[in-house]
Amino acid sequence: MSNKPNAPVKKNDIVEVTIEDLTHEGAGVAKIDGYALFIPKALPGEKVKVKVLKVNKGYGFGKVMETIEQSNDRVEPICPIYDQCGGCQLQHLSYEAQLSQKQKQVKDVLERIGKLTDVKVHPTIGMDNPWRYRNKAQVPVADREGGLVAGFYQQRSHEIINMDECFIQHEENDEVVQTVKTICEQYGVRGYNEQTHRGTLRHVVARYGLMTGETMVVLITRTAELPHKDEIIEQIKAKLPKVKSIVQNINSKKTNVIFGDKTVVLWGETYIYDFIGDIKFAISARSFYQVNPEQTKVLYDKALEYANLSGHETVIDAYCGIGTISLFLAQKAKHVYGVEIVPQAIDDAKRNAKLNHIENADFAVGEAENVIPWWHAQGIRADIIVVDPPRKGCDEKLLQTIIQMKPKRVVYVSCNPATLARDLRILEDGGYVTKEVQPVDMFPHTNHIENVAVLELKM
């Protein structure tokens, strides 16, 4: 039996409601006799007249017809294509309010899912300038009336809308995409057509090293052949002096996966470089690398502070990716072991360790939930375990291994508050106490929330 209330409204009704909350997706929530109505773009505190569009059991959807009272936190989105694009969800909310909203959402979800009522959740650490922060652009390309369009897929469609600039993208990347598009147009390169599987250029990818200014261009093509390749390379070099690397990736498959298997350096370096703090990272066309390096430093500094290392500790970094956190921790620990499922990421991690002359870090390919118990069986004892899992959170087997291994502290870096809350509950039931949680805004104007939490073993 469901205890969800039956709908007190029906489709096409016009009702006046007050918005009480914001969902994780950024929609306003109003309650009518306990029945939740989700209303895109409406903000908490606003009084609105809405048209009911869809009625489910337990909840429905509506659309604002008229705003009767506007929230003081409402601002004009600076992006002219904000509504069509869908890449950002919170541009209509002031940045200050976004930060407090994110803190509130973390508190709420820890309480609701984790039953953690008295954990200290700090105010979200935001950016001084929350624009132009992304260091990577991946832009789909198509043909349009004799030219090319490069932009984004319109929401819920496969139509590519042209975009001249993106306000959360670094200016350099915008310039690279526009310039490469113009050059390719000049030489008659055809954009890829999803329906017919014809045309050449599928995506332009631009990567930028924030601290070095080095730029990489990746042309993703359907065919190995790129007409006027040499002229295109010369033009890119002439017009974009920060470009250190021009790469072609070939994706001949009928798929919406962006990259194909074959990558060729057309000109320049295989890698560009960037720094997070003192650690240098080599970034190839395919390397995973955090997209907001400025806030990544803030997040990892916090993880390091929570790990509270004295130099004698053995640390395990589960879900280590290219070793970003491992190398950060290695500067202060006796030894770090990193584990990650993607072999290429571990190759990058090892390369980055060498690049920084870090010798007290070892990396292994495999599933954290299988490799860590094996390490344990080999006699490796961890003082601190750091986890940074994907959105689905930690594997239950890994959490049980942590509980058995009894490290004195667990530092949990999370990109999904819901799975963080679930996993903290499991660790709490296994003998840990959550000390504090710090939200860090890695993706301003979007609904993403990143957190770092620290747990201690109960004595």
Interface residue with ligand SAH among 27, 141, 339, 420 (CB under 6 A) is 339
Say how many residues touch ligand SAH, by CB under 6 A.
Answer: 20
Interface residue with ligand SAH among 319, 328, 412, 443 (CB under 6 A) is 319
Please, what is the minimum distance in Å from the beta carbon of residue 333 to ligand SAH?
16
Tell me: does residue 116 bind ligand SAH (CB under 6 A): no
In DSSP notation, 112-131 reads HTT---S-EEPPPB--SS-S
The interface region with ligand SAH, picked from 231-239, 242-250, 258-266, 317-325 by CB under 6 A, is 317-325
In the complex with ligand SAH, the residue whose CB is nearer, 150 or 282, is: 282
Q: Kindly report each contact of residues 309-314 with a partner whose C-beta sits within 8 Å and lies 24 or more positions away, as own/partner.
A: 309/333, 309/384, 312/383, 313/383, 313/384, 314/380, 314/381, 314/382, 314/383, 314/384
In the complex with ligand SAH, the residue whose CB is nearer, 60 or 321, is: 321
Q: How far apart are CA 214 and CA 282, in angstroms?
A: 11
Q: Which of 198, 246, 194, 203 is nearest to 221 (CA)?
A: 203
The Cα-based distances of 36 to 18, 23, 30, 32, 77 in angstroms read: 11, 11, 6, 7, 26
Here's the x/- map for ligand SAH, 269-308, by CB under 6 A: it reads as -------------------x-x------------------
Here's the x/- map for ligand SAH, 29-68, by CB under 6 A: it reads as ----------------------------------------
Contact of 458 with 122, CB cutoff 8 Å: no
Please, what is the minimum distance in Å from the beta carbon of residue 371 to ligand SAH?
8
Contact of 189 with 236, CB cutoff 8 Å: no
Q: How far apart are CA 290 and CA 301, in angstroms?
A: 15
Interface residue with ligand SAH among 325, 333, 437, 452 (CB under 6 A) is 325
In the complex with ligand SAH, the residue whose CB is nearer, 126 or 321, is: 321
Please, what is the minimum distance in Å from the beta carbon of residue 31 to ligand SAH?
36
Please, what is the minimum distance in Å from the beta carbon of residue 206 to ligand SAH?
20
Tell me: does residue 419 bind ligand SAH (CB under 6 A): no
Closest-by-Cβ residue to ligand SAH is 321
Contact of 384 with 407, CB cutoff 8 Å: yes
In the complex with ligand SAH, the residue whose CB is nearer, 190 or 448, is: 448
- Coil, strand, or helix at residue 179? helix
Tell me: does residue 340 bind ligand SAH (CB under 6 A): yes
Q: What is the dihedral of CA 444, 276, 408, 388, to 10 degrees?
A: 50
Please, what is the minimum distance in Å from the beta carbon of residue 386 to ligand SAH?
8
Please, what is the minimum distance in Å from the beta carbon of residue 176 to ligand SAH?
23
Which residues inside 155-184 make contact with ligand SAH, applying CB under 6 A?
A: none
Interface residue with ligand SAH among 219, 304, 316, 368 (CB under 6 A) is 368
The per-residue b/e assignment along 329-368, b for 16 or more CB within 10 angstroms, e otherwise, is bbbebebbbbbbbeeebbebbbbbbebbebebbbbbeeeb
In the complex with ligand SAH, the residue whose CB is nearer, 176 or 322, is: 322
DSSP letter assigned to residue 39: E
The interface region with ligand SAH, picked from 212-220, 231-239, 320-328, 349-357 by CB under 6 A, is 320-328
Tell me: does residue 342 bind ligand SAH (CB under 6 A): yes
What residues form DSSP beta bridges with 364?
Answer: 339
Tell me: does residue 322 bind ligand SAH (CB under 6 A): yes
Contact of 49 with 16, CB cutoff 8 Å: yes
Here's the x/- map for ligand SAH, 375-414, by CB under 6 A: it reads as -------------xxx----x-------------------
Tell me: does residue 324 bind ligand SAH (CB under 6 A): yes
Rg (CA), the chain: 24
Please, what is the minimum distance in Å from the beta carbon of residue 103 to ligand SAH?
22
Q: How far apart are CA 152 and CA 280, in angstroms?
A: 31
Q: Which of 345, 395, 344, 404 is nearest to 377 (CA)?
A: 404
Contact of 92 with 406, CB cutoff 8 Å: no
Catalytic residue among 166, 184, 320, 415: 415
Q: Active-site residue 415, yes or no?
A: yes
Interface residue with ligand SAH among 163, 183, 189, 345 (CB under 6 A) is 345
**Positions that interact with ligand SAH (CB under 6 A):** 288, 290, 319-322, 324-325, 339-342, 345, 367-369, 388-390, 395
Catalytically annotated residues? 415
